Structure 1
Amino acid sequence: MKIQFIGGARTVTGSLHLLHINGKKILLECGLFQGRRKDTFEKNKNFPFDPQDIDIMILSHAHIDHSGNIPNLVSKGFNGLIYATAATVDLCQIMLRDSAHLQEKDIEWVNKKRAKKSEPPAEPLYTLEDVEQAMEHFVGVQYNKTIELFDGVSFSFRDAGHILGSAGVHLEIKEDSSKKFSLGFSGDIGRPESPVIKSPDILRDLDALIMESTYGNRIHSPVEEVEEELAQTINMVVNDNGKVIIPAFAVGRTQTIVYVLHKLFDQGRIPEIPIYVDSPLAVDATNVFRSHPECLDRETYRVFLHNGEDPFGFSRLKYIKKVDESKELNDKPGPMIIISASGMAEGGRILHHLANNIGNPRNLILFVGYAAEQTLARKIMDGEEKVNIFGEEYQVKAKVRTMDYFSAHADQGELLDYLRLNTTNKLKHIFLVHGEEDQALPFREKLLTRGHKNVDFPASGSFYEI
């Protein structure tokens, strides 16, 4: 068996791994690479393989950096089945359509610049029609149900606890009549104490593991401290009559933030100020969360569902889909909280809210998750005093704060706990993916000191035979 690491290798975006097993090719993930505009389009457009040669695809979860290039894959000739959990299929229905809409809007902007240079118009990465075609390939699979892919190859999903419907993948492989070989793909690993969804179901008894390492060198804050910190932060901005602007991924992060704000509001720890979720995708995604209560954790049942309450809705909260209502927020005085996508601030309505609020020192830009290198969110998080939004320069005068607790990724300690149940004698190979060097390399050293012998940090394009 060979593994080719293509995307999500030494970076946190564009996840794409190719397995060569028994003459078949299985693709794990097909995500969009996110970063500098000039780098992203060509990297996403062209695959280093012929999509027609891929037999099967397995998708761990719906985040765009894992699923967002599937329509392009299908439009270029992939004709196999795409296995995912039922909740992931439902989320992809809305997320890939939203992504296609953004692709088309983005190319409109590019073509305006090309026209000024008398250059021919460019085509979008994919269209809504491509998404509709791609969705016909999806097959929903229950957690813990074994699916036979080909002779000698089967798999099952385990709940990864990252977002609704997220899964780790456990592959059982038998090559050339030899004994079985167990390969695990962690997908993105969630946090055991994270609100809303269930804790991760750890992949066990593996011979090899492809494992995420996004926060391999970081320890998140405890939940009790974070709720108090969030309450104090909001109260500070309220006292200044400012606005709290929260760039948040529409799926997962937004629902977690809303859930925690709901708790703080009910407990009287934050005042009755307006809270807006300004993201059509987040509105639709929240409805998907409501339709999959089987994925929600015990606390959500105990605090809200048991009493017939909606964990994602309360009196001061308003979900916004219409563009006119979004624009009206610009003229509304503070205090207020605006949650808007995307989390890396590379597109969507959050760009308008940043442009309108980043220059006011009474306001706060609150980051609640990871941002890849070269993204606008990362530049603001890193303290750049001037940033470009819509091609114009803005001074960063608003306060900036990052709260890593709300990340849906496990931290170093939680990643080590994930591995603890796989004995060193059984687990012979670990491949660290979906992590930048400053996170993955210290985590690799940690694993080596704990007795794991073969821990690799594959470069993009590298092959490994196991």
Structure 2
Amino acid sequence: MKLSFHGAARAVTGSCHLVECLNQRILIDCGLFQGNRDLVEENVAAFGFDPATIDYVLLTHAHLDHCGRIPLLAKRGFRGEVITTAATRELARLVLVDTAHLQEEDAQRRARQRRRRGEEDASQPLYNVVDALDCFDRFGRTAEYGQPLQLAEELRATFFDAGHILGSASILIEAAERGSTRSVLFSGDLGNAGRPLLRLPSPPARADIVVMESTYGDRRHRSLKDSIEELYGAISSTLARGGNVIIPTFALERAQEILYVLNQGVERSRLPPTMQIFLDSPMAISATEIFKRHSECLSSEAASMFREGRDPLQPANLRLVRESADSVAINRITGGAVIMAGSGMGTGGRVRHHLRHNIWRNESAVVFVGYAASGTIARQIIDGAKSVRLFGEDIAVRSAIYTINGFSAHADQQELLAWRRAIEGCEATFLVHGEELAMQALAAHLEGQRVELPRLGDGFDL
């Protein structure tokens, strides 16, 4: 059995790991690199393997940094089978088509800019909408939590609930070779405990090798209760001084969780019932509809509420904004609104327009409720930038800035360690999907065993 790393190696995005065993080549995830311009070039580069030789892609979940290069993989020759959970299949279709559309728009914008400068037009999207739709011909069997799937004789894969986003999974690959069975477990992204909508991560009892994420390997999260209180306080104080609250929001999971929390706040009189709430994200709106169809992924409390006809994701005065003209109209509102829009890191999407209209205003606030990778607009603001560049213009940062990491969909250091320690028989742990300092901090706590921090392109014989 061989293992090699082709993304999220000493970095947070681009998850892509290759297992070779029993004459099968199995890819775990195939995600986009996200962040600065250098990472954009990484997406265009060769994968580090021949896509045509890949037999399976086992997809842990539908976040772009885990599924975003599957259309490119198919475009470059992949003809194998993609296997994932039912919820992830639906969400991935939504994410990939939307991403392809945005890439087409970006390529067209760059082409117009070059033509105005009299330069040759060579702008091409990484893949287009047709490529995204075509890749779904490769999606085959649907995985159910805890039910092994046969990939080949003596080779099987089992998906376990990772508790990260709807349909997310950790994946155990077991191969019988030369009279013994070897197993390698990929954590995928692991969820934060105590969140209201999803269940806790549920790892298998044992694995020989563990490949695990380390996004927050160097820190503890604030408790969810305290984080909710801080969010309520940020909203109440901002509305009281006549401003708007801008929440850059990831469309999958974070948007739904914040809707749940806002609904609870209004029902419990912690937030004013008259405040306007805008979910300005077609993808988040569609993801919320998908959410309601997959009770098999939800916590018992959330599933029960949906069964009883009580929608916990529908706070009073919620307005769902799909059309771009309606999104533009929101910017005429100078106060009293909570505006949730993508992207969560400020790298694109409608939130950039709302930042442009509000971040320079002392009375407004920007509330970050998720991870911000190095090089993104969100990280610049969080790190204290006095101004940010939006649409070719330097905009002063004068609004109140809140960073509330208790809403993170990722496990913190203690939760990562608890998940790992629950798995018996592990000979080696490979840390991926994290910045190097976070990896090193987590590695220091994994005593008495082999720990590896692979670099891009590294391979290991297991």
* TM-score normalized with structure 2 length: 0.97
Q: Do the aligned partners of residues 42 and 216 (structure 1) sit closer, same or farther apart at CA in structure 2, a change above 3 Å counting?
A: closer
1:44–1:69 Cα contact (<8 Å) kept:
no
Aligned to 2:57: 57
**Mapped partners of 1:49, 1:306: distance in 2:** 46
Counting only pairs closer than 5 Å after superposition, residues 258-407 of structure 1 correspond to structure 2 as 258-272=259-273, 273-301=275-303, 304-305=305-306, 307-407=308-408
Letter in 2 for 1:431: F
Shift, 1:430, TM fit: 0.2
Shift, 1:141, TM fit: 1.6
Letter in 1 for 2:4: Q
2:292–2:306 Cα contact (<8 Å) kept:
no
Residues 401-450 of structure 1: per-residue CA shift (max 9 Å, x gap): 10001110000011111022123xx11110000000121111100112xx
**Mapped partners of 2:341, 2:267: distance in 1:** 22
Q: Determine if the alignment matches structure 1 residue 455 to structure 2 residue 451.
A: yes
Q: Do the aligned partners of residues 42 and 414 (structure 1) sit closer, same or farther apart at CA in structure 2, a change above 3 Å counting?
A: closer
Shift, 1:129, TM fit: 0.5
1:246–1:339 Cα contact (<8 Å) kept:
yes
Shift, 1:398, TM fit: 1.1
2:35–2:373 Cα contact (<8 Å) kept:
yes
Shift, 1:151, TM fit: 2.2
**Mapped partners of 1:306, 1:26: distance in 2:** 38
Shift, 1:229, TM fit: 1.5
2:63–2:252 Cα contact (<8 Å) kept:
yes
**Mapped partners of 2:386, 2:112: distance in 1:** 29
Shift, 1:223, TM fit: 2.0
Q: Any idea what SS the aligned residue of 1:401 has? A: strand
**Mapped partners of 2:32, 2:403: distance in 1:** 24
Q: Do the aligned partners of residues 318 and 205 (structure 1) sit closer, same or farther apart at CA in structure 2, a change above 3 Å counting?
A: same
Aligned to 1:420: 421
1:219–1:411 Cα contact (<8 Å) kept:
yes
**Mapped partners of 1:337, 1:266: distance in 2:** 16
**Mapped partners of 2:91, 2:84: distance in 1:** 11
Counting only pairs closer than 5 Å after superposition, residues 15-414 of structure 1 correspond to structure 2 as 15-115=15-115, 116-139=117-140, 140-175=142-177, 177-272=178-273, 273-301=275-303, 304-305=305-306, 307-414=308-415
Aligned to 1:441: 440
1:45–1:125 Cα contact (<8 Å) kept:
no
1:30–1:68 Cα contact (<8 Å) kept:
yes
1:11–1:433 Cα contact (<8 Å) kept:
yes
Residues 197-217 of structure 1: per-residue CA shift (max 9 Å, x gap): 111112321111000000001
1:32–1:44 Cα contact (<8 Å) kept:
no
Shift, 1:293, TM fit: 1.6
**Mapped partners of 2:25, 2:283: distance in 1:** 33
Residues 370-422 of structure 1: per-residue CA shift (max 9 Å, x gap): 11110111111111111111222111111111000111000001111102212
Q: Any idea what SS the aligned residue of 2:360 has? A: coil
Letter in 2 for 1:237: T
**Mapped partners of 1:256, 1:203: distance in 2:** 27
**Mapped partners of 1:41, 1:129: distance in 2:** 22
Deviates more, 1:356-365 or 1:115-124: 115-124
Q: Determine if the alignment matches structure 1 residue 464 to structure 2 residue 460.
A: yes
Shift, 1:127, TM fit: 0.7
Letter in 1 for 2:145: Y
Shift, 1:194, TM fit: 1.3
**Mapped partners of 1:72, 1:45: distance in 2:** 11
Shift, 1:95, TM fit: 0.9
Q: Any idea what SS the aligned residue of 2:207 has? A: coil
Residues 184-241 of structure 1: per-residue CA shift (max 9 Å, x gap): 0000000221121111112321111000000001111112212222111111111111
Shift, 1:454, TM fit: 0.4
Deviates more, 1:55-64 or 1:228-237: 228-237
Runs of 4+ more than 6 Å apart: none
Counting matched residue pairs gives 459
Shift, 1:38, TM fit: 4.6
Shift, 1:34, TM fit: 0.6
1:41–1:125 Cα contact (<8 Å) kept:
no
